[in-house]
Structure 1
Amino acid sequence: MNFRKLGIDEDIVNILNKLGINEPTPIQEESIPLIKDGKDVIGEAQTGTGKTLAFLLPIFENISPKINSVQALILSPTRELALQIFEEANKLNVAKNINILAAYGGKDINAQIKKLKGNIQLIIATPGRLLDHLDRKTVDLSKIKTFVLDEADQMLLLGFKNEIETILKEVPKKRQTLCFSATLNPQVKKLAYRYMLNPSIVTIKNEKITLDSIKQDVVETTDRKKQDALCAVLDQDNPFMAIIFCRTKRRVDNLEIALAQRGYNCQKIHSDIPQGKREKIMKSFRNADIQYLIATDVASRGLDIEGVTHIYNFDIPETPEDYIHRIGRTGRAGEKGYTCMFVSPKNENTLKDIEDSIDFSIPRREI
């Protein structure tokens, strides 16, 4: 199967080929024809399977640059994800030349308002900032044809249910609704069915496939010796680019100070860091100017950074889903990846849950 057979415009297919994307992933293959047909779709597939292009490509097919109104709205739970979707959309836009606005907090709202006075055709937004624009009457969603809820499980987890419902009141009842999520839990289903018309469900189950390209290890340690254990592993591996995950913002802060004092080239990212600075850090990391990115789980959702060779779970993830999301930042697009998790005795039950979930006993690494 190729993108032409899915009815994707030749100019866009050429852009995809230049980006090294030659054939659709399973979620794209199944979703694109349904979305192009105007059907409501619920897509369930884990991060790293190409969900973003699964909805962006048909949206680009259906949007007209000649119509001066907002025709599609993509709602995303975090600024990072909104920015990433915006960057993907801009790559495709070389062929289409539509006006796209990224509306998220931390960016100058007046600049966004100024841009909205032009004819915006696609908005990629976080719920809070979009509501801000709706309150100020700077955005008109009354002519939207397609509404996308991306990472719906994260949206609900972050408590955005009321915001989503308020936004949906501003969107036409007759519209196409797309809901993409890594997990279709009962809350996501309830939300989706409430606002969708006979949705087609596309489920791509490929956790094993994704994990096949990632070598996994566990280092058994104690809380007191964990930092030394991490440094010993970093010195042995000397990865090209790595993400180190911690449980809380405070633990990210402390680990960054400790690693920087030991001379490691690292930066931290979490939701308390101002947006402008976060973007700079992410840009430096993408350019491989930073070797280690120390992050909370906010960075594990949907972030697609080429070249991440290693993932270190300094703190064990709370759920098996979080583990899969975190380690899914490596071993992408056919590349090999490596992940190492630091486990103290109190984490044994959580580790067992993770191993049961992925049906794999993770080898222990000796330092």
Structure 2
Amino acid sequence: MKNISFNDLGLHSKILQAIDNMGFEEPSQIQAESIPVILEGKDVIGQAQTGTGKTLAFGAPMLSKIEPRCKNISSIIVTPTRELAIQVNDELSRIAKFRKIALLPIYGGQPIERQIKSLRRGVDVVVGTPGRILDHLHRRTLDLSGIEFLIIDEADEMLDMGFIEDIENIIKSCNSDRQTLLFSATMPSQIKRLASKYMKNDAAYIEIAKNTLTVEKTKQYYYEIKNKDRFESLCRILDVDEPSSAIIFCRTKRGVDELVEGLQSRGYNVEGMHGDMGQNQRLNTLRKFKDASLDFLVATDVAARGIDVENVSHVINYDLPQDTESYVHRIGRTGRANKEGIAYSLVTPKEYILLKQIEKFTKSKIKRKEIPTVDDIFEAKYKNIEKKIKDVLSEDNYKNFVPVATELDEEYNLVDVAAALMKIIFDKELSFNYKENSINVEEENMRLFFSIGRMDSITPRKLLKFITETSSIEAYEIGDIDILNKFTFISVPERVGNVILKKSNGKRLQGRRVSVELAKSKKSHH
């Protein structure tokens, strides 16, 4: 079972490209076991907890097998709640990123006319809640008589919510030669009956044993952040808590490299570990981390698997993992040997739903913490310096500095001298030039010049795609775009601009090499 990669499972090359793009390094157990069976064309009953990566387990093979045609619906996915419908649809659109497959979520509380319009235009995959699917079936705006896949997700939740009759009605309006996939965390008798009545006799039953997941020894907290403030938030947390030894988790290999570069440039003692690094390099980094000549280790889930280090005081989820099991494995790295560990997660409002799933899955409470203010950081540093000074005074090994101090005493007030020395230590300890108390300060904007314009048939969308693909900056971080005849200006926060200048300059767009520079003052280009 060990070391299976996504490439071994028989998926469509464009789907593999998207999975790689999402940063998943290797399949979870349910993915490794379900994908080949689904690709073979068998019906599947999958018993697995929420948060084990089920959406990818059924989504990747389904999106590999169907052909984008937009005429008739190829697949219908039934989920108990609108939140889950939105979440599943979002994940499927990430998996289908490089295949032209049209997806549509349908649920109550959203104007039905808009959904009807989209269905008329043509859709390949529909993700919906039972009530809204039936509504469309009654109106004849949805036709399931030629589908290739019927997927029922969280079947036991449907049962609890009283949807079992609705599910049967939906199944009855589907063709009999479809492939049916049913996923459920538990298998009550009604679900078993449903499966035996409507699924093929040779359906594969895949059960992922429920791990007994213990997180008792770890105190868990989360910080709500804006995505653009992720890095500064982490720096503030590290500066206030001063963990003696921490593992910081990123979702992707690229994420590890970028974070390590950022932290090192701020003076933190940190190195990274991920699957693309050679065995020797990984062992070397791990040795340094074990013998404490390294404070922080930034890693992906896969790279951290073999790490067994005592005395890790903090685990920090810089990115939340793809599934709840990984979360438990991550935070299990702290709190060893009967010591209490601390786990922090940085969470955007969008990821809050995943946090709630983690709480439910681990039966534990993740408490909210406020991002430290500059005052909190200064306070922590003052206490630290004060403690260091008291320790030295009690050890009595500072005597050879007394003559220097005596000399300074003749010219200055010794309280001022002590304060000046404390400032020197303080400046060394503080890696970040914090200016503002609140983190959501507006950054200085910078204007960039691109040597490509309307004449090159450039649209804002093409330009955004070029920037996101060459610099890995997210589209939402880019401000105004001003496309002129021969060139284009964009406005971006300084931090983002520096990355674009470094990574996008000289790259090709539509076969032309694009030069990216800092724009001169507005007048000089016109």
TM-score above 0.5: yes
**Counterparts of 2:164 and 2:362, CA distance in 1:** 22
Instruction: Give the C-alpha shift of residue 52 in structure 1.
Output: 0.8
**Counterparts of 2:358 and 2:152, CA distance in 1:** 30
Q: Which residue of 1 aligns with 2:361?
A: 324
Indicate yes or no: 2:264 matched with 1:204: no
Indicate yes or no: 2:348 matched with 1:288: yes
The TM-score, its normalising length taken from structure 1, stands at 0.61
Q: Which residue of 2 aligns with 1:54?
A: 57
Could you tell me whether the CA contact under 8 Å between 1:216 and 1:339 is conserved in 2?
no
Could you tell me whether the CA contact under 8 Å between 1:147 and 1:178 is conserved in 2?
yes
- Residue by residue over 1:111-167, the C-alpha shift from the partner in whole angstroms, topping out at 9 and shown as x without a partner, is 000000012111101000001111111111111111011000001110001111111
SS for the counterpart of 1:58 is helix
Q: Which residue of 1 aligns with 2:107?
A: 104
Question: Where in structure 2 are the equivalents of 1:346-365 lying within 5 Å?
Answer: none
**Counterparts of 2:191 and 2:358, CA distance in 1:** 31
**Counterparts of 1:237 and 1:28, CA distance in 2:** 28
Indicate yes or no: 2:287 matched with 1:304: no
SS for the counterpart of 2:76 is strand
In structure 2, stretches of 5+ residues that fail to align are: 226-344, 368-526
Quick one: structure 1 residues 140 and 288, their matched pair in 2 at CA, closer, same or farther if it must change by over 3 Å? same
**Counterparts of 1:30 and 1:9, CA distance in 2:** 17
Aligned counterpart for 2:46 among listed residues 43, 50, 53: 43
**Counterparts of 1:290 and 1:71, CA distance in 2:** 29
Quick one: structure 1 residues 176 and 215, their matched pair in 2 at CA, closer, same or farther if it must change by over 3 Å? same
Q: Which amino acid aligns with 1:152?
A: A
**Counterparts of 1:104 and 1:150, CA distance in 2:** 15
Aligned counterpart for 2:222 among listed residues 228, 235, 239: 239
**Counterparts of 1:151 and 1:325, CA distance in 2:** 18
Quick one: structure 1 residues 110 and 238, their matched pair in 2 at CA, closer, same or farther if it must change by over 3 Å? same
Indicate yes or no: 2:56 matched with 1:73: no
Could you tell me whether the CA contact under 8 Å between 2:223 and 2:347 is conserved in 1?
no
Could you tell me whether the CA contact under 8 Å between 1:42 and 1:202 is conserved in 2?
yes
Could you tell me whether the CA contact under 8 Å between 2:75 and 2:148 is conserved in 1?
yes
Q: Which residue of 2 aligns with 1:215?
A: 216
Q: Which amino acid aligns with 2:89?
A: F
Quick one: structure 1 residues 215 and 84, their matched pair in 2 at CA, closer, same or farther if it must change by over 3 Å? same
**Counterparts of 2:122 and 2:211, CA distance in 1:** 41
Q: Which amino acid aligns with 2:361?
A: I
Greater RCO structure (CA 8 Å; 6+ sep): 1
**Counterparts of 1:238 and 1:287, CA distance in 2:** 10
In structure 1, stretches of 5+ residues that fail to align are: 218-235, 243-284, 294-302, 312-322, 328-337, 341-367
**Counterparts of 1:112 and 1:167, CA distance in 2:** 18
SS for the counterpart of 1:123 is strand
Report the count of equivalent residues: 244
- Residue by residue over 1:85-135, the C-alpha shift from the partner in whole angstroms, topping out at 9 and shown as x without a partner, is 000011122211111110111111110000000121111010000011111
Instruction: Give the C-alpha shift of residue 289 in structure 1.
Output: 5.1
**Counterparts of 2:348 and 2:18, CA distance in 1:** 24
Quick one: structure 1 residues 237 and 174, their matched pair in 2 at CA, closer, same or farther if it must change by over 3 Å? closer
Q: Which residue of 1 aligns with 2:8?
A: 5
Q: Which residue of 2 aligns with 1:331?
A: none
Could you tell me whether the CA contact under 8 Å between 2:51 and 2:358 is conserved in 1?
no
**Counterparts of 1:55 and 1:15, CA distance in 2:** 15
Could you tell me whether the CA contact under 8 Å between 1:149 and 1:179 is conserved in 2?
yes
Indicate yes or no: 2:36 matched with 1:33: yes
Indicate yes or no: 2:186 matched with 1:136: no
Q: Which amino acid aligns with 1:146?
A: F
Q: Which residue of 2 aligns with 1:120?
A: 123
Instruction: Give the C-alpha shift of residue 239 in structure 1.
Output: 3.3
Indicate yes or no: 2:163 matched with 1:160: yes
Instruction: Give the C-alpha shift of residue 326 in structure 1.
Output: 5.2
Instruction: Give the C-alpha shift of residue 188 in structure 1.
Output: 1.3
Q: Which residue of 2 aligns with 1:185?
A: 188
Q: Which amino acid aligns with 2:37?
A: L
Quick one: structure 1 residues 45 and 114, their matched pair in 2 at CA, closer, same or farther if it must change by over 3 Å? same
Could you tell me whether the CA contact under 8 Å between 2:222 and 2:347 is conserved in 1?
no
Q: Which amino acid aligns with 1:207?
A: N
Q: Which amino acid aligns with 1:288?
A: T
Q: Which residue of 1 aligns with 2:93?
A: 90
Q: CA RMSD in A?
A: 2.8
SS for the counterpart of 1:102 is strand
Could you tell me whether the CA contact under 8 Å between 2:222 and 2:346 is conserved in 1?
no
Q: Which amino acid aligns with 1:304?
A: L
Quick one: structure 1 residues 104 and 215, their matched pair in 2 at CA, closer, same or farther if it must change by over 3 Å? same
SS for the counterpart of 1:165 is helix
- Residue by residue over 1:144-199, the C-alpha shift from the partner in whole angstroms, topping out at 9 and shown as x without a partner, is 11101100000111000111111111100111111001111222111111110121
Quick one: structure 1 residues 170 and 309, their matched pair in 2 at CA, closer, same or farther if it must change by over 3 Å? closer
* Larger Rg belongs to: 2
Could you tell me whether the CA contact under 8 Å between 1:241 and 1:290 is conserved in 2?
no
